[in-house]
Amino acid sequence: MAKQKIVIWMGSSSDIPFAHRIGDFVEAERFSVQCEYRVSSAHKTPGKLLKELKVYEQSGDNIVYITVAGLSDALSGVVAGFSIFPVVACSPDAEKHGWSKVFSSVMTPRGVTVSYVVKPENAGLMAVKILALSNPSLCGEIERFMQKMKKTVDEADEQLRKKEVFELHREHIEAE
């Protein structure tokens, strides 16, 4: 059976801490998806990048690529142009460069598609959701995660209401 795999491509080793937030999230939420990390530059090592991509493309696995590249993001477009699999760009310097960073990642020619997600944890979740299209067991894992998020909000609301009731009761007693 084909593996469910997220391949996280980084443009340089300085992107490793940011990129690990993707895999840490996937692991912490117990999604049954394998994460692999690779460093390869579309500018500095394009031959290496294309050679490694070819191996992934022929692996028979279900793959979503997440590209983590700072400065000029050629990595996302090159991976998308070479691959049949989805590419999600997630830049470590998006907050620093703003919208110009988004354009650097997603302004690609017709037929070369790159999606963009700002937060690495959300990029991981997006990849899992894409992989769930071909693996129904991941749908249950996503549902479990969504219920966990819902529970967090419900608990916060409940705590707030308890505090408000307490404050109203205290104000009533003090007014008497």
Query: Are the beta carbons of 67 and 73 closer than 8 angstroms?
Result: yes
pLDDT of amino acid 2: 82
* Residue 165: its H or E element: helix 136-175
pLDDT of amino acid 97: 64
Query: Are the beta carbons of 34 and 6 closer than 8 angstroms?
Result: yes
For 118-148, the pLDDT digits (tens) are: 999 999 999 999 999 999 999 999 999 999 9
Query: Are the beta carbons of 76 and 90 closer than 8 angstroms?
Result: no
Quote the pTM value: 0.87
pLDDT category, 106, cuts 50, 70, 90? confident
CB atoms within 10 A of CB 29: 17
Which CATH architecture fits 4-134? Answer: 3-Layer(aba) Sandwich (3.40)
pLDDT at 117 over 90: yes
Q: Where are the domains of the chain?
A: 4-134, 141-176
CB atoms within 10 A of CB 125: 20
